[in-house]
Amino acid sequence: MDIVMTRSFNHSGPAQPDNFVISGFCRQIAEIETGLKEPVIYVGNLSAKRDFTDVRDVVRAYRLLAEKGRSGCVYNVGRGKAVSIREILETALSLSETKIEVVPDKSRMRPSDVPLLEPDVSEIFSHTGWRAEISLEKTVSDTLAYWRNFLRK
């Protein structure tokens, strides 16, 4: 069988459920901005570093792998650069229209959290030329816009 496999790292984008970190931060900010919630964001471990890629880039990677991927290969799909959850939160807060307090929440802490997850994406690049193109800031901005629009309905 002609099978191409992927090992996809964190991906995010507009309309993702709010139990994922970027969407969760953005929904909380949108709720605060619309007066549905007090101006406090509850957070878990902000020091963990993860590779986040926009889902629109991930879909493009899958299409290219379907066209150009080599059978039997496993491709890491990700940006190739991890960022801290703190950086993501700071990006989201910088896009907010409101001053927001950040409060640690023990219920959002994971009992065992790997400090760094960062893929080597050289294989997918060498076989397809694919690289993530959508910036993390755009992903966060578009996700925040999604939640603002969702909550206005």
Domain spans, the chain? 5-152
pTM: 0.93
- Distance, in Å, from the CA atom of 153 to the CA atom of 96, rounded to the nearest integer, reads 19
pLDDT for the residue 57? 98
pLDDT digits (tens, 9 = 90+) for 26-40: 999 999 999 999 999
Residue 94's identity, in one-letter code, is S
Task: Return the SS3 of 8.
Answer: strand
pLDDT for the residue 94? 98
Class of domain 5-152: alpha beta
Of the CA atoms within 13 Å of residue 21, those in its CB half-sphere come to 26
- pLDDT by residue for the chain (153 residues), tens only, comes to 899 999 999 999 999 999 999 999 999 999 999 999 999 998 989 999 999 999 999 999 999 999 999 999 999 999 999 999 999 999 999 999 899 999 998 888 877 788 999 999 999 999 999 999 999 999 999 999 999 999 998
- Distance, in Å, from the CA atom of 58 to the CA atom of 124, rounded to the nearest integer, reads 12
pLDDT for the residue 127? 97
DSSP code of residue 70: P
pLDDT for the residue 1? 83
Q: Which residue(s) pair with 101 in the sheet?
A: 40
pLDDT for the residue 48? 94
pLDDT for the residue 111? 73
